[in-house]
Structure 1
Amino acid sequence: MIESYGFFGWIVIGLLAGGIAKLLMPGKDPGGCLITMLLGIAGALLAGFLGKAIGWYDQGEAAGFVAAIVGAFLILLVYRLVLRRR
Structure 2
Amino acid sequence: MGIFAWVVIGALAGWIASKFMNTDASMGAFANIVVGIVGALIGGFLMNVLGGVGITGFNLWSLLVAVIGSMILLWVLRLFKNR
**Residues 8-47 of structure 1 mapped to structure 2, 5 A cutoff:** 8-26=4-22, 32-33=27-28, 34-47=30-43
User: Greater RCO between the two (CA within 8 Å, min separation 6)?
Assistant: 1
> Alignment length, in residue pairs?
79
**Using a 3 Å threshold, how does the CA distance of structure 1 residues 83 and 28 change in structure 2: closer, same or farther?**
farther
What TM-score do the two structures reach when normalised by structure 2?
Answer: 0.74
Structure 1 residue runs of 5 or longer lacking an equivalent are none
Percentage of matched positions with identical amino acids: 35
Name which one, 1 or 2, has greater alpha-carbon Rg. 1
- Does residue 53 of the first structure (1) align with residue 49 of the second (2)? yes
- The match for 2:66 among 68, 74, 78 is 68
Q: Give SS of 1:56's match.
A: coil
Shift, 1:56, TM fit:
0.8
Question: Are the aligned partners of 1:43 and 1:70 in contact in 2 as well (CA < 8 Å)?
Answer: yes
Q: Tell me how large the CA RMSD over aligned residues is.
A: 2.5
Question: Are the aligned partners of 2:9 and 2:37 in contact in 1 as well (CA < 8 Å)?
Answer: yes
What TM-score do the two structures reach when normalised by structure 1?
Answer: 0.72
